[in-house]
Amino acid sequence: MATVPVPAPEQEKLVRTWETAPGVYGWCATVDHKQIGIRYLVTSIVFLLLGGVEALTLRIQLAQPNLKFLAPEQYDQLFSMHGVTMIFLYALPVLSGFSNYLWPLMLGSRDMAFPRLNALSYWLYLFSGIFLYVGLPLGQAPNGGWFNYVPYTSSEYDPGINIDIFALGLIFLGISTVVGSANFVVTLLRTRAPGMSINRMPILVWGTMTASVANLFAVPALSLACFMLWLDRNFGTSFFAVRGGGQPLLWQHLFWSFGHPWVYALVLPSMGIVSDALPVFCRRPLVGYTAVALATVTTMVIGFGVWVHHMFATGLPTMAISFFSAASIIIAVPSAIAVFAWIATIWTGRPVFKVPFLYFAGFILLFVIGGVSGFMTASAALDWQLTDTYFVVAHLHYVLLGINLFPVLGGLVYWFPKFSGRMMDERLGRWAFWIMFIGFNLAFFPMHIVGLEGMPRRIYTYPADLGVGGWNLLITIGAFMLASGILLFLYNLVRSLSVGEVAGPNPWDAPTLEWSTSSPPPPQNFDIIPIIASRHPLWEDRLEDVEDRSQLTTGYLLDHGRETIGTTPLDAEPNVILRMPGDSLLPLCLAVATSVLFFALLSKLWLIAGLGFAAALVTLILWFAPEPLADPEHPRLYA
Alpha-carbon torsion angle 391, 396, 399, 400, nearest 10: -150
> What is the nearest approach in angstroms of other proteins to the Cβ of residue 182?
4
Q: Determine the Cα–Cα distance for residues 572 and 534; give it in Å rounded to an integer.
A: 12
Query: Minimal distance in Å, beta carbon 226 to other proteins?
Result: 12
Would strands 563-567 and 574-579 be described as parallel, antiparallel, or unpaired?
antiparallel
Say how far apart CA 320 and CA 311 lie, in whole Å.
10
Tell me how far CA of residue 411 lies from CA of 179, 273, 355, 358, 485, in angstroms: 25, 6, 10, 11, 16
Are 185 and 217 within 8 A, CB to CB?
A: no
Q: Is residue 123 exposed (0-12), middle (13-18) or buried (19+ Cβ within 10 Å)?
A: buried
d(CA 254, CA 271): 26
Residues 321, 395 contacting (CB under 8 angstroms): no
The values of phi and psi at residue 493, to 5°, are -65, -50
Tell me the closest approach of the beta carbon of residue 533 to other proteins, in angstroms: 15
Task: Name the residue type at position 395.
Answer: H
Residue 553: other Cβ atoms inside 10 A? 12
Amino acid at 22: P
Our CB check for other proteins shows the closer of 26 and 566 to be 566
Structure letter (DSSP) for residue 625: P
Give how far the C-alpha of residue 531 lies from the chain's centroid of Cα atoms, to the nearest Å: 29
Between 167 and 282, CB nearer to other proteins = 167
Rounded to whole angstroms, the Cα distance separating 69 from 72 reads 10
> Nearer to other proteins by C-beta: 354 or 579?
579
Q: Between residues 394 and 565, which has the closer beta carbon with respect to other proteins?
A: 565
User: Considering the complex, what minimum distance in angstroms separates the CB of residue 298 from other proteins?
Assistant: 20
Q: Which one, 156 or 388, has the nearer CB to other proteins? A: 156
| C-alpha distances out from residue 473 to 64, 250, 277, 483, 544, Å | 6, 38, 37, 15, 55
For residues 623 and 593, the answer to whether their CB atoms sit within 8 Å is: no
Residue number, 111 or 425, with CB nearest to other proteins: 111
Residue among 433 and 638 whose Cβ is closer to other proteins: 638
CB of 407: closest distance to other proteins in angstroms?
27
Nearer to other proteins, 36 or 531 (CB): 531
Instruction: Please state the closest distance from residue 12 (CB atom) to other proteins, in A.
Output: 13
> What is the closest distance, in whole angstroms, from the C-beta atom of residue 579 to other proteins in the complex?
5
CA quadruple 195, 199, 200, 204: dihedral positive or negative? positive
| Choice between 71 and 620, CB closer to other proteins | 620
- Min dist CB 242 to other proteins, Å, is 9
- Least distance from other proteins to the Cβ atom of residue 329, Å: 25
Q: Which is nearer to other proteins, 97 or 261 (CB)?
A: 261
CB of 424 to other proteins, least distance (A): 30
Q: How far apart are CA 609 and CA 163, in angstroms?
A: 19
